[in-house]
Amino acid sequence: MQQDSSRRFIARLFTHLTWIIILGLFYLLFQDRLLQQNDPNHDLRVTQNGQSVVLQRNRQGHYIAPGTINGQPVRFLLDTGATDISIPGALAKALGLTPGRASYASTANGTIKVYDTRLNSVALGGLSRADVSAHINPHMQGDTVLLGMSFLQHLELIQRGDTLTLNSGSR
């Protein structure tokens, strides 16, 4: 009787372990698919000459890509409707940015107070600019930086379907 009970316990244990392994494999498989759908540019494609960057639109219709501000890694959301680069207040503090003169910005949620700042360098793939204007937005949550026209105006943007190609221009 003791042996019967031990065998049932071991059988149940192996059944549970098998299900845990199967669920773990499904998690790993679908985690990669979700990452690819939500952030298809996490491994940014840069042309060999470094003069172009090709971005894929995510499932929400946005172009999100890794980049750097002053050599520190950030996550950009391309926003052609933004005049300047907009950096969340908490992230600006972590990047060591100094808030400058207060100004006002018009957003979808109304007019807000922001603080002007200058960025020594901004890079997206092989594309980079020095001395770029930006503002620190203390009302913005999260750690995604809106990459506005103060950077994008120097590039040629070509959108075809779900792909956006950014080319450094002679502008």
Q: For residue 29, what pLDDT is reported?
A: 75
Q: Check which CATH number belongs to the domain holding 129 and give it.
A: 2.40.70.10
Check whether residue 27 and residue 94 sit in a common domain.
no
Q: For residue 171, what pLDDT is reported?
A: 44
Nearest to 97 by CA among 67, 64, 71, 126: 71
Check whether residue 6 and residue 61 sit in a common domain.
no
Nearest to 74 by CA among 55, 46, 95, 96: 95
Check whether residue 160 and residue 77 sit in a common domain.
yes
Q: For the chain, which residues score pLDDT lower than 50? A: 171
DSSP three-state, residue 95: helix
pTM, to two decimals: 0.75
Q: Which domain holds residue 6?
A: 1-38
Check whether residue 29 and residue 53 sit in a common domain.
no
Check whether residue 30 and residue 89 sit in a common domain.
no
Check whether residue 49 and residue 97 sit in a common domain.
yes
Check whether residue 141 and residue 109 sit in a common domain.
yes
Q: Spell out where 3-139 has E strands.
A: 45-46, 52-56, 64-69, 72-78, 85-88, 102-107, 110-124, 127-137
Check whether residue 31 and residue 67 sit in a common domain.
no
DSSP three-state, residue 62: coil
Q: For residue 68, what pLDDT is reported?
A: 94
> Is the distance from CB of 121 to CB of 70 less than 8 angstroms?
yes
Q: For residue 100, what pLDDT is reported?
A: 94
Residue ranges of alpha helices (H) inside 39-117 are 89-95
DSSP state of 1: -
The amino acid at 14: F
Q: For residue 42, what pLDDT is reported?
A: 72
> Total structural domains in the chain?
2
